[in-house]
Amino acid sequence: MKNKFLYYPIIIGILLLIFDQWSKVYVKTHFNLSEEVNVMGSWFKLHFLENYGMAFGIEFGGSWGKIILTLFRIIFCGVIIYYISTLIKAKSHLGYTISWTMILVGALGNIIDSVFYGVIFSASDNWSVAQFMPANGGYASWFHGSVVDMLYFPLVRGTFPTWFPMWGGESFEFFRPVFNVADATISIGFVLILLFQNDFSKQNAPKEDVVLEDEI
């Protein structure tokens, strides 16, 4: 391929964004709100929730907070797009470029929900599934859509012993948050950068530094 630094990130980014939106639209139009199905035993489930705020169900500042959060995400994406373009031009480590592309795609995936879903879908509830492009209009205005979450991994469930400080006798669950493909994509991108930063930095180092080391 002529320029893998350009094509690979674009192809991977498009595929991830399509998968994210497909999973959200499928769940939105096939599941009642709070409906849950087992995928792999009891440790991996699809559990349909809607998140009005940030990742993993965190909310921020009501209606105006929602607009501010979405605008911040859009600006953040613009900055990342510019940064990725500089990485591609510099032919930086391909894994590093793809990691940032994953972060970008995850942010874009949740922006699409926030900006468009309130307009193009009817409301989800516990008794019926949402309709795409309903005749009476969507459930919210532009920029006020809810993010669709569905991935649920209750890997460990139990009860704290009675002698345990603060939470003694209370039940616990790991991993409790319900999230989506976009959230996972962002998290994986950051984890890859943290785990392989040494390998990435070696290739991203200025070439003149490498020449000086060889001469020494």
Phi, psi of 160 (to 5 degrees): -65, 140
149, 199, 209, 214: which is the annotated catalytic residue? 149
183 in active site: yes
The separation between CA 64 and the C-alpha centre of its own chain, rounded to angstroms, equals 22
Rounded Cα distance, 175 and 22, in Å:
24
Residue 104 burial (C-beta neighbours within 10 Å; 0-12, 13-18, 19+): buried
Cross-strand partners of 158? 172
Phi, psi of 113 (to 5 degrees): -60, -50
Residues contacting 189, CB < 8 A, separation 6+: 99, 100, 101, 102, 103, 106
149 in active site: yes
183, 199, 209, 214: which is the annotated catalytic residue? 183
The residues annotated with a catalytic role in the active site are 149, 183
